[in-house]
Amino acid sequence: MTLLICLAKKSRSAEEGLKVSEISRLLGITPPTVTQLINSLEAKDMVERQPDLSDRRVVRIRLTEQGRVITRKAREHMDASLNKLVEYLGEEESTLLADLLLKVHGFIENNPRPDLDRLQMNGDEKLD
């Protein structure tokens, strides 16, 4: 779902789509992982690969009609759930939660992620 929502939000147009490298950067996951996700979503007819209009060497990933429908339904469900949460918490606690989430977001933005390619995989590798 995260990849589908990323495509829906970040593509300049429904026809253009995003490159694998752009998706990788936006989601913070490696290009091979993105490719695996795309393969799975493509098999379910949720995304499709299209050649870039200005550079035929570049492949762009875009939502299919089915992918757009699923993404829209997921957004509607998330919006309804968020509205229920706000109703449950009330205005004061909802505002506090929003403030705390903004603070967490700021912390994450100011503290870089580890380089996952350099982490040990099974404990046998030596670190630099």
Predicted local distance difference test score (pLDDT) of residue 38: 97
Per-block average pLDDT, block size 10, for the chain (128 residues)?
93 82 92 95 96 88 95 95 96 96 94 68 56
Identity of the amino acid at 119: L
Q: How many helices (H) and strands (E) does the chain have?
A: 4, 2
How far apart (Å, rounded) are the C-alpha atoms in residues 88 and 105? 23
pTM of the model: 0.72
Q: Which residues pair with 57 in a beta bridge?
A: none
Q: Buried b vs exposed e over 7-16: b needs ≥16 C-beta within 10 Å?
A: bbeebeeeee
